[in-house]
C-alpha cells in the first residue's frame, strides 16, 4: 500500500509547491517589498569588489557534496574560485552554522537555499539566519543564480536587507533588478565562470581546426525549443551541423563540444517557466536574462549568437563586434557573414569576455 501511495504523495507535494511558488509568492513579494525598503535604510549596500575583504565564510545547508553526472557549474566551487581569484579574498571558511562566524563577510549560495527550502516554511529559516548573522554585524553576499525565481529571491532579500551586503546577480543588471524591487542588487557579476576556473571552458583551438558545428541551447525553455524548430533546417541547409543541447552530454563531453564548435546559439530571454511564476509581476521584470551558456560560448571562443541586452552592453559586448544579433539572422534566414568575419567576431568576443572577468593569461 505504501508503494502505491508514494507516487501520489509525490504528485500532491509537487503540485502544492507549484501552488506556493506561482500563486502565493507573487503576492508575498508585493507585501515584503515594502518591508525590504524599510530594512535597507538601516543596512549598508556593499557590492563585491577586489581587495575589499581578507576573509569570508561560505554558509552552506549541508557539508554533503553531490556530484552531478550532467554538465553543470557547481555554485559552491565556483563562488570559492570567484572570491579568491576575482575578489582577492585570502581566507575562505566553510560552515553550516550561521552562529559564531569568524570572518569579515558571509557568502550564501543556492546550496543553502536548496537544503532549507525556506519558501515551504514561511521563510522562517531565512529570518532566523538573518537575525543570527545580524547579531554578529556581518554583511552578506547572496549569490542569486536566477534573478526572478521568487522562492530564492525572497529568502535572499530577507537576509541581505537585514544584514547589508548585496544580492549578487549574473543574469541581470542593477537597474533591471532595482525596477523589480530587489534590495541591494549587484550585477552583472560573472561569478559562475570566473578568473579562478576559466580553464573549464577556455579553448585556444584555432578557428580553422574547428568543425562547422553549431551548438544550439534548447533545454530549459520552450522559447528555445520553438526557435530551434523554426530555424534548424535553414542552418543545416547552409552547410552546418547542428547539435541541440538537452543536457544529454556528460560534463567532459559537453566542454569538448564547445572546444570544437564554431557557433553557439542561445537565447538571452526570460524563460517561459519564469513568466508563469511571475504572473502579474512580469511587467516589472526585464524580458532579458543572460544564461551562463552565453558566457560558456564566449569563453570557449565560439561565435555567440544571442539577443542584445543590458547585461551584455554593461559588460562591453557590442552586437556585430563581439557577437551576432539572433533577431537579425532569424530574419535573414541565417545568411551568415564569411568565415573570416565569423572568426574575427568570435575572437573579439572571447577577448572581451576575458577582460570582463579580469582574466590575465599567464605570460601576457
Could you report the per-residue pLDDT of 273-300, keeping only the tens digit for each? 999 899 999 999 999 999 999 999 999 9
One domain, residues 214 and 181: no
The angle subtended at Cα 252 by Cα 83 and Cα 214, nearest 5°, is 100
One domain, residues 130 and 246: no
One domain, residues 17 and 147: yes
> Does residue 214 form part of some domain?
yes
Q: What is the CATH number of the domain that holds 291?
A: 3.40.50.2000
One domain, residues 151 and 23: yes
Please state, in angstroms and rounded to a whole number, the distance separating the CA atoms of residues 131 and 128.
5
> Does residue 93 form part of some domain?
yes
One domain, residues 27 and 73: yes
Please state, in angstroms and rounded to a whole number, the distance separating the CA atoms of residues 147 and 140.
17
> Does residue 195 form part of some domain?
no
For the chain, give the percent of residues with pLDDT over 70: 94
Phi, psi of 117 (to 5 degrees): 45, 60
Helical residues (DSSP H) of 86-221, grouped into ranges: 110-116, 124-135, 150-163, 174-180
- pLDDT, position 66: 59
The angle subtended at Cα 12 by Cα 6 and Cα 14, nearest 5°, is 100
Nearest to 193 by CA among 265, 117, 258: 258
One domain, residues 37 and 178: yes
- pLDDT, position 14: 72
One domain, residues 138 and 233: no
When divided into structural domains, the chain yields a total of 2
One domain, residues 169 and 30: yes
Task: Say whether pLDDT at 116 is over 70.
Answer: yes
> Does residue 193 form part of some domain?
no
One domain, residues 231 and 166: no
Task: Say whether pLDDT at 362 is over 70.
Answer: no
For the chain, give the percent of residues with pLDDT over 90: 83
Domain range for residue 147?
2-186
One domain, residues 240 and 151: no
> Does residue 54 form part of some domain?
yes
Digit-coded pLDDT (tens) for 141-193: 999 999 999 999 999 999 999 999 999 999 999 999 999 999 999 999 999 99
As a whole number, mean pLDDT of residues 45-50 equals 96
Domain end point (choices 186, 209, 225): 186
> Does residue 364 form part of some domain?
no
**CA-based R_g, the chain, Å:** 21
One domain, residues 50 and 118: yes
> Does residue 297 form part of some domain?
yes
Task: Say whether pLDDT at 321 is over 80.
Answer: yes
Average pLDDT, the chain: 92
Digit-coded pLDDT (tens) for 330-341: 999 999 999 999
Domain end point (choices 120, 151, 186): 186
Domain end point (choices 186, 220, 253): 186
One domain, residues 34 and 158: yes
> Does residue 234 form part of some domain?
yes
- pLDDT, position 364: 34
Q: What is the pTM of this model?
A: 0.92
Q: Which residues contact 140 (CB under 8 A, 6 or more apart)?
A: 105, 106, 107, 108, 133, 159, 160, 163, 164, 165
Helical residues (DSSP H) of the chain, grouped into ranges: 2-19, 25-40, 75-85, 110-116, 124-135, 150-163, 174-180, 222-237, 251-260, 272-278, 292-300, 310-314, 326-331, 339-356
Please state, in angstroms and rounded to a whole number, the distance separating the CA atoms of residues 341 and 263.
13
Amino acid at each position: 500500500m505504501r508503494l502505491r501511495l508514494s507516487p501520489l504523495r509525490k504528485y500532491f507535494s509537487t503540485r502544492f509547491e507549484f501552488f506556493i511558488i506561482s500563486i502565493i509568492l507573487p503576492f508575498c513579494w508585493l507585501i515584503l517589498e515594502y518591508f525590504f525598503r524599510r530594512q535597507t535604510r538601516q543596512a549598508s549596500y556593499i557590492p563585491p569588489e577586489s581587495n575589499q575583504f581578507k576573509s569570508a565564510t561560505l554558509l552552506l545547508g549541508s557539508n554533503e557534496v553531490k556530484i552531478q553526472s550532467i554538465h553543470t557549474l557547481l555554485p559552491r566551487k565556483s563562488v570559492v574560485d570567484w572570491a579568491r581569484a576575482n575578489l582577492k579574498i585570502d581566507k575562505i571558511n566553510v560552515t553550516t552554522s550561521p552562529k559564531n562566524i569568524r570572518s569579515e563577510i558571509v557568502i550564501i549560495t543556492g546550496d543553502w537555499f536548496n537544503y532549507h527550502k525556506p519558501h515551504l516554511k514561511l521563510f522562517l529559516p531565512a529570518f532566523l539566519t538573518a537575525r543570527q548573522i545580524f547579531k554578529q554585524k556581518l554583511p552578506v553576499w547572496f549569490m542569486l543564480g536566477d534573478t526572478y525565481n521568487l522562492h530564492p529571491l525572497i529568502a535572499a532579500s530577507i537576509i541581505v536587507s537585514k544584514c547589508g551586503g548585496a544580492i549578487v546577480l549574473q543574469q541581470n543588471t542593477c537597474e533591471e533588478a532595482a525596477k523589480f524591487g530587489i534590495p541591494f542588487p549587484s550585477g552583472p557579476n560573472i561569478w559562475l565562470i570566473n578568473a579562478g576556473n576559466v580553464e573549464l571552458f577556455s579553448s585556444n583551438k584555432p578557428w580553422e581546426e574547428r568543425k562547422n558545428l553549431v551548438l544550439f541551447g534548447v533545454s530549459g525553455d520552450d522559447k528555445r525549443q520553438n526557435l530551434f524548430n523554426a530555424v534548424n533546417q535553414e542552418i543545416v541547409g547552409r552547410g552546418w551541423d547542428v547539435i541541440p543541447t538537452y543536457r544529454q552530454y556528460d560534463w567532459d563531453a559537453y566542454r569538448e563540444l564547445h572546444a570544437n564548435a564554431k557557433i553557439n546559439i542561445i537565447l538571452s530571454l526570460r524563460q517561459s517557466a519564469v513568466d508563469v511564476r511571475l504572473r502579474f509581476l512580469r511587467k516589472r521584470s526585464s524580458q532579458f536574462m543572460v544564461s551562463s551558456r552565453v558566457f560558456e560560448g564566449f569563453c570557449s571562443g565560439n561565435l555567440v549568437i544571442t539577443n542584445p541586452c543590458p547585461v551584455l552592453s554593461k559588460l562591453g559586448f557590442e552586437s556585430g563586434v563581439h557577437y551576432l544579433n539572433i533577431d537579425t539572422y532569424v530574419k535573414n534566414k541565417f545568411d551568415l557573414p564569411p568565415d573570416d568575419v565569423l572568426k574575427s567576431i568570435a575572437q573579439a568576443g572571447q577577448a572581451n569576455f576575458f577582460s570582463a572577468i579580469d582574466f590575465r593569461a599567464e605570460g601576457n
